[in-house]
Amino acid sequence: MATQKLPASTPPVSQTRSFSTVFLIEMWERFGFYGMQVLMVTYMINKFGFADSKANLVWGAAAALIYATPAIGGWVGDKLIGTRRTMITGAVVLALGYAMLWVPSNNPVMMYIALGVIVVGNGFFKPNAGNLVRKIYEGDDTRIDSAFTIYYMAVNIGSMASMTLTPLIRDYVGAKYGDALGWHTAFGACSVGLLLGLGNYMLMHRTLAHIGSPADEQPLNLKRAAALTLAALAMVFVAAFILQSQLIAKICVYAAGVVILGIFAHLIRSSERNERAGLIAALVLTVQTIFFFIFYAQMATSLNLFAVRNVDPAFNLLGWHLFNWVPEQFQSLNAIWIVILSPVLVVIYNSLGRLGKDPSVAVKFTLGFAAVALGFFIYGIGAMSAVNGQVSSWTMIWGYGFYSLGELLVSGLGLAMIARYVPARMGGFMMGAYYVAVGISQYLGSVIANLASMPQGIVNPVESLTIYTSLFNKLGFVGIACTLVAAVMLPLMRKLSASHAESATPLPAVHSEEIA
């Protein structure tokens, strides 16, 4: 870990204070991102008249690029301008992207360019924020799973607020000033939220002065920064070009899959012998993560449109009407459950860790797939008691509950898995490679979601309910298959984890025992 020497009079900064700084900027960044995501598919359908299938694929391609560009951003942070600088640059660019969606326009080209800006901003931000958390807790295996679980909760505090707020802003402003202004004002709230996060970071940034990559310690090279700016602008237009063509998007996503496998193969082949077991373990868990995010991608696509067409927005309890939700707000159930479940899992991890019985990441992944499978079956079961094609809102609550538990056990530990098994010198790059894999699965998830895209002419909820529940039941069975495969892989993962632990060099003043 690269550290900056502080003056002798400066007291040491605790891990908790450093972590809080990253936690809060991540929370506000996710406020902006998920506030935009919760509306984007229905925005394309309602504003530009896209068919379900086109809206799903455009968003799937955008999500793939959003998750793929961190592979470059991690390298920029490690080698060019520094981890901290790259993270903040990404936050500024993201705020600009959301501000572009704030500007009213009837031309989808403006939307494609704004999404291109968001793609680039996320590429700079995402891997470097995660890499700072890894550096804060580097060598402390006992706390790293808990730290990343709490970090993951930051994502969901921000997204919970924005996914609840932006649909309300759209409807309120739209009712008073017209639908078009409602959509764009909601996107503007995403930009304002991120600006608040940047202001907060400026007040707390000193707590990260000793954390970062070697490039953070060097003066900023202006020529290098100018070249990086030009490259980022080019990437914006490349991304916009990819998004407007479904064929090009498909080719790029599948090519990225081949590239990421090639990168893993090269790193494993060229790594030191004592690093190989950890890299192979990371590869196996990354492949499992790809399958998980196919399920995850349904939230913004098939589950979102299912809520619009087939979920009763009224929350009733024991005959009492509590409140109604805007259909897109059902996506915030995912974040609400994450916030509820994260502290519970942290307590469990820490308690088992103190006893030396914390389950391995591979075991947690297996349990996560089982939870996701159950979540999708709940949607199918809820359809059995639907009235006039409308499923109870409580079905969504429990379905999202198990879906979110699975997410915490798989996606929530994905970054911890990289931090644990990947050598520090590859940290930023491998964080980026992990996100490329996630991006591929996001696009594959949109392809799967199109199995439930509505044919033209179907407006009867009874008919659409059959189409959606057929998809969800199939996903439930796929989840069971993933659980079984992950369980079969457990002996191999135990062997790889043991080899990795044996080859790891103990670090002074920290726990070096293997708890996986």
The confidence score (pLDDT) of residue 18 equals 83
Is position 20 within any domain? yes
321, β-bridge pairs: 316
What CA–CA distance (Å, rounded) separates 275 from 333? 40
Q: What is the mean pLDDT of the segment spanning 490-506?
A: 68
What CA–CA distance (Å, rounded) separates 233 from 110? 15
What CA–CA distance (Å, rounded) separates 375 from 303? 12
Specify the long-range contacts of residues 179-187, CB closer than 8 Å, at least 24 apart: 179/46, 180/47, 180/104, 180/106, 181/104, 183/39, 183/43, 183/46, 183/47, 184/101, 184/102, 184/103, 184/104, 185/102, 186/35, 186/39, 187/35, 187/36, 187/39, 187/98, 187/101, 187/102
% of the chain residues with pLDDT over 70: 87
Q: Is the pLDDT of residue 227 over 80?
A: yes
The confidence score (pLDDT) of residue 1 equals 42
Contact 324, 314 (CB under 8 A): yes
Q: Is the pLDDT of residue 152 over 80?
A: no
Residues in the chain: 516
| Burial status of residue 385 (CB atoms within 10 A of its CB: 0-12, 13-18, 19 or more) | exposed
The confidence score (pLDDT) of residue 294 equals 92
Using alpha carbons, select from 107, 102, 221 the residue that is nearest to residue 173. 102
Strand ranges, E, within 249-333: 314-317, 320-324
In this structure, the number of other CB atoms found within 10 A of the CB of residue 342 comes to: 23
What CA–CA distance (Å, rounded) separates 378 from 494? 32
Q: What is the mean pLDDT of the segment spanning 12-25?
A: 80
Is position 434 within any domain? yes
Domain containing residue 264: CATH number: 1.20.1250.20
Is position 6 within any domain? no
The confidence score (pLDDT) of residue 199 equals 92
- Model confidence over 230-270: pLDDT tens digits? 999 999 999 999 999 989 988 988 887 787 777 777 777 77
What CA–CA distance (Å, rounded) separates 211 from 135? 7
Q: Is the pLDDT of residue 140 over 70?
A: no
User: Taking all residues of the chain, what is their mean pLDDT, rounded to a whole number?
Assistant: 84
Q: Is the pLDDT of residue 473 over 90?
A: yes
Strand ranges, E, within 274-328: 314-317, 320-324
Q: Is the pLDDT of residue 3 over 80?
A: no
Contact 108, 229 (CB under 8 A): no
The confidence score (pLDDT) of residue 418 equals 66
The confidence score (pLDDT) of residue 23 equals 86
The confidence score (pLDDT) of residue 504 equals 57
Q: What is the mean pLDDT of the segment spanning 123-140?
A: 80
- DSSP structure string for 86-114: HHHHHHHHHHHHHHHHHS--S-HHHHHHH
The confidence score (pLDDT) of residue 101 equals 95
Is position 248 within any domain? yes
- Model confidence over 260-302: pLDDT tens digits? 777 777 777 777 776 777 777 777 777 787 888 899 999 999 9
Strand ranges, E, within 438-490: none
Is the model more confident about 254 or about 431?
254
314, β-bridge pairs: 324
Q: What is the mean pLDDT of the segment spanning 348-353?
A: 82
* Residue 216: DSSP 8-state: G
Is the model more confident about 369 or about 424?
369
User: Is residue 207 very low, low, confident or very high in pLDDT (cuts 50, 70, 90)?
Assistant: confident
* Residue 372: DSSP 8-state: H
The confidence score (pLDDT) of residue 332 equals 93
In the three-class reduction of DSSP (H, G, I as helix; E, B as strand; rest coil), residue 311 is classed as strand
What CA–CA distance (Å, rounded) separates 109 from 97? 13
Q: Which domain holds residue 409?
A: 15-503
317, β-bridge pairs: 320
What CA–CA distance (Å, rounded) separates 4 from 207? 12
Q: What is the mean pLDDT of the segment spanning 402-421?
A: 76
- Model confidence over 29-73: pLDDT tens digits? 999 999 999 999 999 999 999 999 999 999 999 999 988 887 788
Is position 276 within any domain? yes
Is the model more confident about 489 or about 480?
480
What CA–CA distance (Å, rounded) separates 232 from 486? 39
Task: State how many domains the chain has.
Answer: 1
The confidence score (pLDDT) of residue 198 equals 94
The confidence score (pLDDT) of residue 389 equals 92
Q: Is the pLDDT of residue 159 over 60?
A: yes
Q: What is the mean pLDDT of the segment spanning 203-220?
A: 81
Scanning 355-426, the segments in alpha helix (DSSP H) are 361-383, 393-410, 414-421
Is position 7 within any domain? no
The confidence score (pLDDT) of residue 5 equals 45
Please state which of the ranges 129-133, 218-222, 419-423 shows the lowest mean pLDDT. 419-423
The confidence score (pLDDT) of residue 312 equals 94
Q: Is the pLDDT of residue 429 over 60?
A: yes
Using alpha carbons, select from 14, 30, 56, 21 the residue that is nearest to residue 304. 56
| Tokens describing residue 454 | 């509505």
Contact 370, 410 (CB under 8 A): no
Is position 515 within any domain? no
What CA–CA distance (Å, rounded) separates 233 from 228? 9
The confidence score (pLDDT) of residue 234 equals 95
Is position 273 within any domain? yes
The confidence score (pLDDT) of residue 117 equals 97
Amino acid identity for residue 139 in this structure: G
What CA–CA distance (Å, rounded) separates 302 from 299? 7
Please state which of the ranges 89-93, 202-206, 283-287 shows the lowest mean pLDDT. 283-287
Virtual torsion, Cα 16, 206, 430, 142, nearest 10 deg: -20
The confidence score (pLDDT) of residue 135 equals 79
Residue 211, sorted as left (phi over 0), alpha (psi -120 to 50) or beta, turns out to be: beta
